């Protein structure tokens, strides 16, 4: 049942190209210039009337929401808030009929996410659910559903659910941009072109795991690690650090790279592994400076950058290149080396990868 893999997690990481393709299937027009989301039943007027978007979820799904915020704000120019479901449900949220609430849940059964959904609907918001389980509680109670077609995810650590949630977010953002005319048709097509081929780039990353394995072998005894990034890379850094904590029990902190100076830099000491994400072209120079900052404290830096951005080699100890893609789509492929890093770190430490201590796959109680 593990399809020849040692763990479900590794199998599921490797299933991502297929899962990404399935999640896109039928959702891009033949000409490649339009998003087709028939499952969204909002009238054109309702789409026009959206004043705010709130995304709410837990754990990894929340991290997909953080990517959603950047992308929806950038493409649709509507304010987006992201809230942890257990916070949202108890904070008397400002929600009304012009608020679009997006809940994200792989299982569709997470107690806090379901409660957040109910709270949002009670206050008159329309709720779109992004979920992986057909007829799950979240799917049954939402107004609209965008299914991710990741297939069953067995490993407690979420991998293919996350990358397919990202695809659902991109589709939703592009759909809103198209319906509200906030993006030129050419720009929509350009992103869709790259989205269609993202699965092949994910495969390229999966075909080149040796450097990650070596890094994991070298640093698996580390007690503390840092993930730094800016913009979309910061959202991915949070997901990478959660994955590492969850299955390898290594302490990992994710920081917006610009925040280092405001406290965290005090913790950067000799040989501490720092995973620096530098895939965003517009923020690249800033990241190079942040890498210099941690190198000045003798950290061991592995950087992730897009192909061609070789300048980073001068500052980082090691560089992993991800295939070139539209910068907004980079999280889908940037996270894969981080999933693999967490996986191999956990394997080298002898951890129970698929069933980390104290955790359940689906948190159906508070
Ligand atoms: O089923 P859900 O997407 O609602 O689950 C949310 C979180 O419990 C889940 O993503 C959790 O954080 C993962 N184990 C992380 O890998």
**Residue 167 near residue 24, CB atoms below 8 Å:** yes
Region of 350 on the Ramachandran plot (φ > 0 left; ψ -120 to 50 alpha; else beta): left
105 lines ligand 1 (CB under 6 A): yes
* Residue 244 in contact with ligand 1 by CB distance below 6 A: no
Contacts of 325 (CB under 8 A, 6+ apart): 194, 198, 201, 306, 333
* Residue the block writes with tokens 């789509």: 329
Query: What is the CA 247 to chain-centroid distance, rounded?
Result: 17
C-alpha 194/C-alpha 334 separation (Å) is 15
* Residue (of 7, 346, 14) closest to 208 by Cα position: 14
**Residue nearest atom 14 in ligand 1 by C-alpha distance:** 157
pLDDT digits (tens, 9 = 90+) for 165-217: 999 999 999 999 999 999 999 999 999 999 999 999 999 999 999 999 999 99
**Residue 314 CA to ligand 1 centre (angstroms):** 37
pLDDT digits (tens, 9 = 90+) for 269-289: 999 999 999 999 999 999 999
Task: Evaluate the CA torsion angle 35, 60, 214, 266 in order and state its sign.
Answer: positive
Handedness of CA 328, 333, 336, 338 (dihedral sign): negative
pLDDT at 364: 87
The whole-number pLDDT of residue 223 equals 94
pLDDT digits (tens, 9 = 90+) for 63-114: 999 999 999 999 999 999 999 999 999 999 999 999 999 999 999 999 999 9
Query: Is 74 close to ligand 1, i.e. is its CB under 6 Å away?
Result: no
State the CB neighbour count (10 A cutoff) for residue 313. Answer: 13
Interval between CA 61 and ligand 1 midpoint (Å): 6
Query: What are the tens digits of pLDDT across the range 20-48?
Result: 999 999 999 999 999 999 999 999 999 99
Residue nearest to atom 10 of ligand 1 (CA): 60
pLDDT per residue over 234-279, tens digit each? 999 999 999 999 999 999 999 999 999 998 888 999 999 999 999 9
Q: Considering only CA atoms, which residue is closest to atom 4 of ligand 1?
A: 105
Active site residue 34: no
* Probe residue for ligand 1, chosen from 146, 158, 165 as the CB with the greatest number of ligand atoms within 8 Å: 158
Contact 355, 260 (CB under 8 A): no
Say if ligand 1 is within 6 A of residue 107 CB. yes
For residue 306, give the nearest of 232, 239, 238, 255 by alpha carbon: 232
Distance, in Å, from the CA atom of 241 to the CA atom of 253, rounded to the nearest integer, reads 6
Q: What is the model's pTM? A: 0.97
Q: Which of 13, 57, 59 to mutate to test the pocket of ligand 1 (most atoms within 8 A of CB)?
A: 59
Is residue 365's pLDDT more than 90? no
Distance of alpha carbon 39 from alpha carbon 139, whole angstroms:
12
Arithmetic mean of pLDDT over the chain:
96
Long-range CB contact pairs, 305-311, < 8 A, 24+: 305/278, 305/279, 306/279, 306/281, 306/330, 309/278, 309/281, 309/284, 311/284
Q: What is the pLDDT of residues 301-354, one digit of tens each?
A: 999 999 999 999 999 999 999 999 999 999 999 999 999 999 999 999 999 999
Q: Is the Cβ atom of 335 under 6 angstroms away from ligand 1?
A: no
pLDDT band at 145 (very low <50, low <70, confident <90, very high): very high
For residues 17 and 203, is the Cβ–Cβ distance under 8 A?
yes
Confidence of residue 1 (pLDDT cuts 50, 70, 90): confident
* pLDDT cut 70: percent of the chain above it: 100
Q: What is the ipTM of this complex?
A: 0.99
The answer to whether residue 141 scores a pLDDT higher than 90 is: yes
pLDDT for 147 beyond 90: yes
Residue with tokens 């609907």: 121
Alpha carbons 132 and 198: distance in angstroms, whole number:
20
* Predicted pLDDT at 266: 87
For the Cβ of 66 lying below 6 angstroms from any atom of ligand 1, the answer is no
The reported pLDDT for the residue numbered 133 is 98
Pick from 250, 64, 247: nearest CA to 157: 247
Answer whether 65's CB lies under 8 Å from 59's CB: no
């Amino acid at each position: 049942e593990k399809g020849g893999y040692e763990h479900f997690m590794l199998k599921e990481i490797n299933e991502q190209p297929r899962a990404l393709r399935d999640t896109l299937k039928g959702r891009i027009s033949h000409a490649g210039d339009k998003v087709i989301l028939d499952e969204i039943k909002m009238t054109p007027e309702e789409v026009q009337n959206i004043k705010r978007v709130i995304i709410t979820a837990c754990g990894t799904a929340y991290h997909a929401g953080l990517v959603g915020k950047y992308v929806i704000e950038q493409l649709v120019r509507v304010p987006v808030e992201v809230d942890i479901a257990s916070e949202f449900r108890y904070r008397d949220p400002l929600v009304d009929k012009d608020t679009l609430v997006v809940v994200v849940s792989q299982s569709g059964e997470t107690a806090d996410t379901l409660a957040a959904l109910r709270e949002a609907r009670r206050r008159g918001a329309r709720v779109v659910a992004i979920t992986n389980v057909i007829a799950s509680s979240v799917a049954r109670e939402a107004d609209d559903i965008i299914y991710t077609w990741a297939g069953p995810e067995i490993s407690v650590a979420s991998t293919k659910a996350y990358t397919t949630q990202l695809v659902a977010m991109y589709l939703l953002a592009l759909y809103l941009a198209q319906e509200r005319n906030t993006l030129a048709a050419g720009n929509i097509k350009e992103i869709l072109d790259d989205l269609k081929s993202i699965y092949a780039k994910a495969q390229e990353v999966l075909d080149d795991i040796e450097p990650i394995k070596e890094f994991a072998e070298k640093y698996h005894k580390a007690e503390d690690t840092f993930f730094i990034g800016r913009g979309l890379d910061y959202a991915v850094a949070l997901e990478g650090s959660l994955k590492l904590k969850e299955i390898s029990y290594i302490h990992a902190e994710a920081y917006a790279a610009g925040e280092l100076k405001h406290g965290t830099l005090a913790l950067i000491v000799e040989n501490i592994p720092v995973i620096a994400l530098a895939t965003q072209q517009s923020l690249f120079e800033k990241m190079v400076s942040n890498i210099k900052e941690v190198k000045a404290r003798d950290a061991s830096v592995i950087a992730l950058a897009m192909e061609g951005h070789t300048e980073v080699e001068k500052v980082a100890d090691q560089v992993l290149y991800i295939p070139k893609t539209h910068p907004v789509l980079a999280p889908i492929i940037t996270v894969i080396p981080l999933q693999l890093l967490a996986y191999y770190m956990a394997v080298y430490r002898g951890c129970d990868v698929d069933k980390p201590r104290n955790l359940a796959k689906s948190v159906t109680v508070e």
